[in-house]
Structure 1
């Protein structure tokens, strides 16, 4: 049974190839009309490929991250900068001993 299926598939493929080549021969045999013997050879159709690299859109330019500075935290003379997150950590804590956490004046 598998053998018959293979034969049927081959026959259908052969008929399709013969029909395609016959119709292609009938379409491309223009040389008979102008007196040149033999079929005319037609170049194959275009191959669709992705556009070249220079036609690609420009990449998005993103600013690099700020450099990481390893060092001591800055010591501000006039208190923390505006909108600083750690309030009360600068000059207004100067009455507190930072070692034991108790207030000594």
Structure 2
């Protein structure tokens, strides 16, 4: 009988020690991820392309004068801008969402 009680105490003791260790590891992992995102790690901040901050040139406009195609680093991207643009205008990449860039007009 005492062997069964001793075994149960050991098992419960191991669980009592393991649960805080698991929680600490999970918290450390979350802190590392949030720290990388705060530092601008492209893999965690949403910009996997690394285009934010790059400049581009409007190549064509769609039906709306604030959307179309622009050339950034030699690549053609769909863009959206808050302002109306003209072909040849220079733009700055503010955000990348999927295959679309959100830009602002350079003055």
Normalising by structure 2, we get a TM-score of 0.30
Higher strand share: 2
Q: Which has the larger radius of gyration?
A: 1
Q: Which has the higher contact order (CA 8 A, sep 6+)?
A: 2
Higher helix share: 2
